[in-house]
Every structure is written in structure tokens, then in C-alpha cells.
Amino acid sequence: MANYREMWEQLGMDLENHDNLCAVLPTAFGDVYLSQENRPESMDFWDMVVADIHGIRPAELIEEQKKGRKVFGTFCVYVPDEVVIAADGIVTGLCGGSQFWVPDGEAVLPKSTCPLIKASVGARLGKTCPFFRIADMYVGETTCDGKKKAWEILGKDVPMYVMDMPQMKRAKDVTKWMEEVEDFAAVVEKTTGKTITPEKLAESIHIINEKRKALARVYETRKADVIPISGKDALLMMQIAFFDDPERCAQMANRLADELEQRVKDGVSVFPAGTKRILVTGTPMAIPNWKLHHIIETSGGAVVCEETCTGTRYFENLVDETGTTLEEQYRAIAERYMGIHCACFTPNTERVDDILRLAKEYKVDGVIDVNLKFCCLYDTEGYVVEKALKEAGIPVLGIETDYTDADAEQLRTRIEAFIEMLG
Amino acid sequence: MYYIGIDIGSTCAKYAVLNEKKELIRKHVQPTGWSSVETAESIRTQLAESGIPWEEVRSVATGYGRVSVPFADKTVTEITCHGRGAVWLHNSENMTVIDIGGQDTKVICIEDGMVKDFVMNDKCSAGTGRFLEVMANTMALTPSELCELARDGGNTKISSMCTVFAESEVISLIGRGEKKENIAYAVVESIADKVASQSSRMSMNSGLVCLTGGLCECDYLREVLCDKLKRDVVTQPDDRYAGAIGAALMATGIRR
């Protein structure tokens, strides 16, 4: 990784502290990922990306910036990539998934803030993540109170634009979100100096839809009786999808899907027969948060689907491509994004419907509903989710955790016991 | 054939031996100490010295130190084992098992002899044996002395669930001259409240409610639990071996 030091230095990073992060990541990745047997060969792409996670893609982004393009850093699956790409901008995810960044976040945020927000703020203020240094503008949203207030703090350090998320899903809320998308488009146009035309927007809508279809193809293979890919590997693909170029992401996901479809035909599984099929629901798992998947998959279970923002919520449903005017297109975008069922909405019964549907489609033996500590929304909704699953006769285990390893052994006991209970 | 269950808990290590007819022929409890590995080794030595031929043994390890028993044929979690053990001990197929262990408290719902659902505290030690132990130490009592003393107390409350904060609360109660039995009463109330609140997260069936684990010998705690849960809570002396017995029963299913 040494050849990126100059780039990191120019980005104003805290190199000494960043070295500490670089020192632990390969071991963690080796223990969690490379120890797996019979991984799909196409995972080599993602292994390469992780090996130089703070090198390859950041260098690409900087090259594009030199050509005058702008990079927008986002934190949520509700922020429409289509709009940025139509104005020749680039989107990169910015969510922090490591305990490494939490202390720097806690320097300015209450300890009782969710680890995702603390890590994201810490990664910026601690100057230990190149993506957080590269982004020309951060785009936040009002999906929870912790984030809303964190944006105010981040906004002192970096240009920050915040989209106002509706809290309900009535027709007028969809219209309101469409207006928010239009306002955002104006900000993006101003930042990039490029005008969004119906032709360009149609093209970017198509690009992102193709990316969604490719990711969905990989998920589709996980519905098979044989399990062609581990949950950990599928999660890694999803996590990197937030950072990668959307067309390359689609290409790589399609390449992986080809291999997995062949594996299904050939009856190749990465788990022994009888491994319990688990659906994970709840809060997102930003890279490198592999904690829960790793515990599940080393305790006799296999994760076959994630109903999370780093799972189905990211790619399900497409934007209607038939619109020819900007108004029709913004409407189509708003409708697609308002169809994502996050716990920030009330009522949110559609999410429970989704979970019950996914449990059936992926033929799961049990559901593990996980929420990041201090995420009031998912924690509270967990009650409704667990109740609905129990009524449907689907075993469920509720878990609250953070990025530390302090509770790993207790979690292992609970998860092993849950899997034993599945028979 | 001999079926051995080894339960390495955070405070105590237990083992139970069943014979071919699934009769309990030997049981033992000892402190886990600082090394689960050494404790497991000492158990193996004891069993060998008792004349049990090792080639005729099937064994299962459970408890938080289950991975430290290299000679066990299999590991099974303490939740499954306590469930199995309680079903066997109480001869009941539908029941709720409350296991108050050294570092975890579990409420396990059993239907048709199988674990149907469970709740377990996360890393916080409120409502566990550790909580009682810390408070007993602060008051220069043994946990069982504290439990019995509590019977004569009343009118005092500890509001902190957190062990660290609750300990400070106990120290301030001592400082202001509160009677020892009243503080003991407050400690037991706090544990029972926590266990009751944990139970309320799960729908308990109408079957027996039984208390297993190290605290099952504290009769006053059992009485307070009856009161809080509005249910008859039963226990018997062998209930502290429920995990080990359950593990031994799991061992009967091992085929080599």
C-alpha cells in the first residue's frame, strides 16, 4: 500500500493513525474472509478492492476530479445516485463501519449515538479515511435525529447539503420527496456546472437500474436449495457497491451471478447440507462491519439474505424508465425511492410484509433481527417485526450490538442456541 | 456406556455422569477458577480416577467455557442444555426455565420437550449471579448469607440496574447506616425485578416455572420470584446441575 502514501498526505490525512488502521484490516479480512472454503472465483475482484481499499478507488476519484468532475459523498440509500450521475458527478458512499473511527466521533457526539454515525463523523474529523477527504460535497438526509444533528457538526468542516426526508408515505409525501429531488438536482447542477437534460437523466436512470438488476441476480441465486455463496461474500459485494463505479459494479456482479447460476446448476454449495438458512433484518452493515455474519456463519448458520440497506433495500424495485420529461423522471425517481421501507417512516407495515415475503422466498429457517445500539427506530420497530414473525411461525432472534468485539462471545452463545433451537 | 455432561460456567464448573439406563450416577461442582482449560483437565482426571473407562464415554461440553474442553465429543450451548436438563429433572415437557447463572440470566420456553424460544441478557450483568456476588462482597457476606438475610429486610430500594452503579448505591446505603438486612432485601429485589422484566419479553406458557443454575439454592430469591411473576416457581437441589445433566443427555445422542 506504500505507493499511496503521497496521495494520502496530499489529502491531509493523519498518516500515523491511518497506519494503525491499515495494520489491522488485512488480518481481520484474512480471518473473516480468506479462511472460507470454496469461495466463488469471481470474488477475486472484491478481494483486490479490499486489499487496497484506501488506494485504488480513491486514486480513481482523484483522477476524475483532475478532469473537473465532482464527487458527492452520501450516507443513505434514499439519496438518488441518478441525479448526480446525470450531471456528470460521481457518488461515493461514506458510512463508517469500524470501531476504529468511533472514538474520534465520540469526541464531538454523545456516547449514546449509534456507532454508524459516530464512526462516520470520526472518519472525517480524525482524517483517517481518504473517501471522507476526497468528497467535494457531503449529502445527508433527515432519516433520524442522530444524523440530523451530526450533519450540523460535519457541516462546519465540509460543504454539506441535507435532503429533507418525509416521515410518512402518503401521496403528498411522495410529491414532497419529488420536490426534494428537484432541489437536490439544482444543487448538483450548480456544483458540477453541468445541466441535467432528460436524455442524460434517462441514461443515468438506466445505468443505476442495470446495477440494481445485477445485484438482484446475485441475490436470486441465494434462493436456491444449495447455497452458492456465503452471506459474508454477498455482504462484501453490497458494501463495495456503495463505493464503486456503477457500471463496473454491475459488470462484476453479473460476472459473479454467472458463476453462481452455474454453481446452482451443478449443485455446488459453500455450506454442508442441513446448514440453517438465516435471514438478517435491520440496520445497515457498513464496511468493514462483518461481525454478525461471521458469528452466524461460524455457528452452524448461513446468511441467505439481508433485509437491510446493505441488502435488499439497496436494489429492490427499479425506477420507471419510460419518462421523457424531467418532471416525469423526477416523479419516477421519487416513487422508486419512497418504496424503500426504512424504519424512519410511520406507519411502516410494508417493511414487515417485505420481511415475511423474503423469509418465504429465501426459504429461511429463522430470522435474526439486528439493530445497532442506540438506533431507536429499528430497535422499536423490532418489537413489531418479531411479533409478526412469531405469528407467522418463523423463529426470530432479536439482537442489539455495536462495532466492538466486547459482546462477541455472548452473541455467539445466543446465536448458537438459536440455531440449535431450529433443530 | 457412560454419558458425561461438562458445564464450564463463569463461576462454577459442574459435571454429571449418566449410565446406560440414563440414571444420574455421579455429579460434582467446583469453582471454575481463572483457567477453564485447567478446570476441564481436572474434571477429566477426576473422572478417570473414578474408574470410568474413557473408551466407554460419550461427552458434551456446555457453558461459556465449552470450547475449552478439548476432550469433549461435541459442544452445545447452555440454553439447549438447561432446557433438556430441566425437562429431565422435572419430568415435564412444557415449562419455563429461569437459569440465573454467574454472568448470564436466561429465560427459556420449553414446548414438547424442546426449546421454543429464549431471552438472554446481553453483556450487562444486571440480574445475574455476578450482580449478587459483587453486592455480597461489598457487604462482607457470602451470596447465600445475603439471600437469607434479605428475608428479614424491607423498605429499601436500589434503583440502578448496572452492577457498577448499584455497587456505589450499596456503598452509600452502608455509609448512611442502613441496616444490612434492608440492603440485602434491596439487592434481591433488584435481581428479581430484572429477571421478571426479562421474562415479560417472552410469552411464558402455562406449564411449570423452574429455577435452575447457581442461585436455585437461594430459597428466598425463589419466593420473591414467585411473587413478581405471579407464578409458582419450583426448584430442587439438583437444578444447579441442569446444564451438566442436559449436556449428558445430549451425549446419549452421539454416534461414533
Give me Rg for the CA atoms of chain A: 21
Instruction: Report how far residue B52's alpha carbon sits from residue B140's, in angstroms, rounded to the nearest whole number.
Output: 41
Residues of B in contact with A417 (CB under 8 A): 77-80, 115, 118, 120
Residues of A in contact with B104 (CB under 8 A): 410, 413
CB-based burial of residue B74 (10 Å sphere; 0-12 exposed, 13-18 middle, 19+ buried)? middle
Residues on B contacting A at a C-beta cutoff of 8 Å = 64, 76-80, 104, 114-118, 120, 122-123
Instruction: Report how far residue B205's alpha carbon sits from residue B229's, in angstroms, rounded to the nearest whole number.
Output: 12
Do residues A251 and A42 make contact, with C-beta atoms less than 8 angstroms apart? Answer: no
Domain ranges of chain B: 2-80+243-251
For A416, which residue in chain B has the nearest alpha carbon? B77
Do residues A85 and A208 make contact, with C-beta atoms less than 8 angstroms apart? Answer: yes
* Position A340 pLDDT exceeds 90: yes
For B75, which residue in chain A has the nearest alpha carbon? A416
Helical (H) or strand (E) element with A181: helix A171-192
Instruction: Report how far residue A11's alpha carbon sits from residue A8's, in angstroms, rounded to the nearest whole number.
Output: 5
- Cα distances (Å, whole numbers) of residue B20 to B51, B56, B58, B80: 16, 10, 11, 22
If you write DSSP's letter for every residue of A345-400 in order, what string do you get? Answer: SSS-HHHHHHHHHHHHHTT-SEEEEEEETT-HHHHHHHHHHHHHHHHTT--EEEEE
Do residues A161 and A137 make contact, with C-beta atoms less than 8 angstroms apart? Answer: yes
Residues of B in contact with A421 (CB under 8 A): 79-80, 114-118
CB contact under 8 A, B64 and A413: yes
Residues of A in contact with B118 (CB under 8 A): 417, 421
Q: Mind listing the pLDDT tens digit for each residue in B205-244?
A: 888 999 998 888 889 999 999 999 999 999 998 999 999 9
Residues on A contacting B at a C-beta cutoff of 8 Å = 390, 395, 400-401, 406-407, 409-410, 413-414, 416-417, 420-421, 423
Nearest to A406 among B76, B78, B123 (CB): B123
Instruction: Report how far residue B89's alpha carbon sits from residue B95's, in angstroms, rounded to the nearest whole number.
Output: 12
Q: State the pLDDT at residue B160.
A: 83
CB contact under 8 A, B76 and A420: yes
Mean pLDDT (chain A, rounded): 97
Identify the sign of the CA torsion B86, B90, B93, B96: negative
Residue B59 pairs in a beta bridge with B4
Alpha-carbon distance A402 to nearest alpha carbon in chain B (angstroms): 12
Q: Which amino acid is at A358?
A: L
Cβ neighbours of residue B121 closer than 8 Å, sequence gap 6 or more: B104, B105, B106, B127, B128, B194, B198
Alpha-carbon distance A244 to nearest alpha carbon in chain B (angstroms): 36
Kindly tell me the number of DSSP H helices and DSSP E strands found in chain A.
19, 8
Q: State the pLDDT at residue A3.
A: 80
Helical (H) or strand (E) element with A279: strand A276-282
Residue ranges for chain B with pLDDT beneath 50: none
* Position A367 pLDDT exceeds 90: yes
CB contact under 8 A, B116 and A421: yes
For B84, which residue in chain A has the nearest alpha carbon? A421
Residues of B in contact with A413 (CB under 8 A): 64, 77-79, 104, 120
Q: Which residue has the cell 459485494?
A: A237
Greatest C-alpha distance within chain A: 60
Instruction: Report how far residue A403's alpha carbon sits from residue A105's, in angstroms, rounded to the nearest whole number.
Output: 13
Q: State the pLDDT at residue A95.
A: 87
Residues of B in contact with A406 (CB under 8 A): 123
Do residues B17 and B248 make contact, with C-beta atoms less than 8 angstroms apart? Answer: yes
Residue B100 pairs in a beta bridge with B105
Residue B115 pairs in a beta bridge with B110
Do residues A73 and A57 make contact, with C-beta atoms less than 8 angstroms apart? Answer: no
Do residues B75 and B45 make contact, with C-beta atoms less than 8 angstroms apart? Answer: no
The grid coordinates listed for A251 are 459488470
Cβ neighbours of residue A61 closer than 8 Å, sequence gap 6 or more: A71, A90, A92, A131, A134
Q: Mind listing the pLDDT tens digit for each residue in A220-243?
A: 999 999 999 999 999 999 999 999
Alpha-carbon distance B88 to nearest alpha carbon in chain A (angstroms): 17
* Position A2 pLDDT exceeds 80: no
pLDDT mean over A21-29: 91
CB contact under 8 A, A414 and B120: yes
pLDDT mean over A243-260: 98
Q: State the pLDDT at residue B123.
A: 66
Residues of B in contact with A390 (CB under 8 A): 117
Cβ neighbours of residue B208 closer than 8 Å, sequence gap 6 or more: B90, B92, B94, B95, B96, B234
Size of interface A-B (CB pairs under 8 A): 41
Q: Which residue has the cell 419518462?
A: A323
Residues of A in contact with B120 (CB under 8 A): 410, 413-414, 417
Nearest to A407 among B80, B117, B123 (CB): B123
- Cα distances (Å, whole numbers) of residue A167 to A20, A121, A162, B34: 40, 24, 15, 52
Residues of A in contact with B77 (CB under 8 A): 413, 416-417, 420
Instruction: Report how far residue A316's alpha carbon sits from residue A216's, in angstroms, rounded to the nearest whole number.
Output: 7
The ipTM estimated for the assembled molecules is: 0.91
Helix axes B78-90, A408-421, angle to 10 degrees: 50
Q: State the pLDDT at residue B119.
A: 93
Share of chain A above pLDDT 70, in %: 100
CB contact under 8 A, B79 and A407: no
Residues of A in contact with B79 (CB under 8 A): 413-414, 417, 420-421
Give the CATH superfamily of B2-80+243-251. ATPase, nucleotide binding domain (3.30.420.40)
N-to-C CA span, chain A: 46
Residue A298, number of CB atoms within 10 A of its CB: 15
Cβ neighbours of residue A343 closer than 8 Å, sequence gap 6 or more: A351, A377, A378, A380, A381
Q: Tell me phi and psi for residue A403, to 5 degrees.
A: -90, -10
Our CA angle for A407, A413, A419, nearest 5°, is 130
For B10, which residue in chain A has the nearest alpha carbon? A410
Instruction: Report how far residue A305's alpha carbon sits from residue A358's, in angstroms, rounded to the nearest whole number.
Output: 8
Nearest to B122 among A390, A400, A423 (CB): A400
Our CA angle for B91, B85, B247, nearest 5°, is 145
- Cα distances (Å, whole numbers) of residue B203 to B108, B143, B168: 10, 30, 34
**Residue B91 φ/ψ region, left for φ over 0, alpha for ψ in the -120 to 50 degree band, beta for the rest:** left
Instruction: Report how far residue A140's alpha carbon sits from residue A183's, in angstroms, rounded to the nearest whole number.
Output: 14
- Cα distances (Å, whole numbers) of residue A325 to A84, A198, A329: 17, 6, 6
